[in-house]
Structure 1
Amino acid sequence: MLVLGLLIASCTKDKTDYEAERDDSVVEHVDFKEAATIDSNGYSIRIEALNGTFYKGYNPIRLKVTGGGANGNANVSAATFLPIKLSSTGSETSCPHQHHLSYQPEDAYFSGYCVFTEATTNAGVWELQISFAIDGKMITARQAISVQPQTNKNLNMTTFTGSDNEQYIIALIAPQKPTVSENELLAGIYKFNKASEPTDNPLAAAYVPVTGYTLQLDPRMPEPSMGNHSSPNNKDLVQDAAGHYRGVVNYTMTGNWTLNFIMQNNNGQIVKGTVVPDDFTPGVMGVKSELHIDILF
């Protein structure tokens, strides 16, 4: 009862105006729209993304190829997707992505994803290289695109080096717009592929999804007015059949939350993350794990 009383008191003193901060104009994007079109060899390659925009972080994508025939339909047997970031010095890097796209016959498109690690800037621009096979011939096209900053903090990401000296990326996928309830939390975890074998295009295998890891989850409200309190009924993130990491986060109120993680590899060894103290700390900023992602809703 004492702790509850302190919590109520702390939540009423010097409380952040979360309603103003979280900006209710942020909406959940569910519709795929054209984000880029590339014309090559008589074919039109249409790349679609949610809201018709490429954002920093995780992006599901769809690809459609038309042209080259009397009815406008192209008989494409396979397609690849390669995001390339060019620095101001001309060097090329890539990011986590699905290189060989999956065909969805019911709607006649190829599907995949891309985790853009940075927004487009003067110091670094993004291009897409698309290749597709048609009638035994491979056609490749490349074009610059624009990647926008991610304004939805519920889709934040983090990059870090683990205790195994490997470079990792964790990208939040869902929910786009959480509710005050138990929310299914979905994330992708990727590792820089230092051991990739030389290929015609090594950028295609620059990052790989990690397999069999666990993300221990401890969500907190770190603001001084919130005392770094947590919530019940959260579930750690484990890998699902699609390769994503799935768990449950229980948001008991709107505001600033920190998703504190401890990441374990498939041998149960801690790769990154620290335990967050259980102390209720009204009046001071809450301690965060060395591996965390801040969100706001």
Structure 2
Amino acid sequence: MKTLKYIFAILILSPSFISCSDDNEETPMEPNPVEGLNKIYEFPSADHIVEIYSDKSALEVGYNEISIRIKDLAADKYLINAAATWMPMMHMEMMTHSAPHSTLDNSAESSVYKGYIVFQMAGNASEYWDLTLNYTLNGEQITETHQISVTEPTDGLKKVQVFMGSDDSRYVLAYLNPKKPQVAVNDFQAVLYKMEDMMTFPVVENFKITVDPRMPGMGNHSSPNNEDLTYSAADQLYNGKLSLTMTGYWKINLKLLNENGEVLKGEDVTESNPESSLYFELEF
């Protein structure tokens, strides 16, 4: 009899346990693929919205990582098969030109199209940048052009160099990392492009960029364990090491060498020559 009582008790309590378990289960929240980024533009149309995000608060001269989302208003969903492409364009008083930029890729986050643009100059009252976006929405090919603002970096430091090399070619060299420099040997990254014409900027492969960081306010001393920037085909970046031994203002003196080791831009730092004509600036 005791056994039967236990069985009845279990049968009576079981629905309660099941009900409690179901009530406590929460639907997991979907991760926000643009969490931590700033929405710097929102361009509405009749049936969709284009959102533009950056890790910065505004687009600046130099290297800018950019994320784009396109929302179908009727379906209330972000597009994952938009096949998005883009083209930045600078409208100057006497000419127009584009900028080095990557393709847009959404393989990592299906609803977020990611890429980067290296803006060579800021806009002003009479000269401006715009961004043309091409994408597919419900089988329709759409092209939209939106004016964007590009400003000088708020810290006033040089993070991009546009120059003519000794080979009579024009280059664009831009700083990527470290974004948050540390008193340590930091991973150092840059991108290098050649300007073939106003619209064409191919990646330059297999050059070398020598690295000599100095502190002008501290006797122009350097630091140990730096590694020159060399090209990586895997990510199309120039990778090296940047040794920073203390906080403060640093000038990262550089020299650009071609495949044959010929110097195309920049000079050695010596007692009589305290800085190279090719450099980046850091302060932290």
What TM-score comes out, normalization by structure 1 length?
Answer: 0.76
Match of 1:216? 210
The alignment partner of 1:208 has SS state of coil
Q: 2:86 aligns with which of 81, 85, 106?
A: 81
Matched, 1:290 2:277: yes
| Match 1:94 to one of 93, 98, 122 | 98
Does the 8 Å contact 1:75/1:135 carry over to 2? Answer: no
Count of aligned pairs between the two proteins: 249
Counterpart among 248, 253, 272 of residue 260 in structure 1:
253
Matched, 1:139 2:142: yes
1:191 is aligned to 2:194: yes
User: 2:222 corresponds to which residue?
Assistant: 230
- Measure, in 1, the Cα distance between the counterparts of 2:275 and 2:52: 39
- 1:18-97 matched pairs, under 5 angstroms: 31-40=36-45, 42-67=47-72, 69-74=74-79, 76-89=81-94, 91-97=95-101
Could you state the TM-score of these two structures normalised by the residue count of structure 2? Answer: 0.80
C-alpha contact 1:63 1:110 (8 A) present in aligned 2? yes
In the alignment, the residues of structure 2 paired with residue 63 and residue 124 of structure 1 have an alpha-carbon distance, to the nearest angstrom, of 24
Structure 1 residue matching 2:116: 3-state secondary structure: strand
- 1:245 match: 238
Q: CA deviation at 1:119?
A: 2.0
How far apart in 1 are the matches of 2:62 and 2:231?
19
In angstroms, what is the RMSD of aligned CA positions? 2.2
Which letter maps to 2:282?
A: I
Distance 2:255 2:56 in 1: 33
Residue aligned with 1:103, SS: coil
Distance 1:138 1:76 in 2: 12
Give, in angstroms, the shift of residue 270 of structure 1.
1.9
Q: Secondary structure at the match of 1:259?
A: strand
Larger CA Rg, structure 1 vs 2: 2
The CA deviation string for residues 65-124 of structure 1, in whole angstroms up to 9 with x for no partner, is 1116434343534111111111235x32111112x3111354521110011112221131
Q: Is contact 2:69-2:79 (8 Å) kept?
A: no
The AA in structure 2 aligned to 1:254 is: T
Shift of the 94–37 alpha-carbon distance from structure 1 to 2, 3 Å rule, reads same
Contact preservation (8 Å) 2:158, 2:280: no
Gaps of 5+ in 1: 1-29, 195-201
Kindly, what percent of the aligned residue pairs are identical?
A: 32
CA contact (8 A) 1:154 1:176 kept: no
Q: How many angstroms apart in 2 are the aligned matches of 1:88 and 1:111?
A: 31
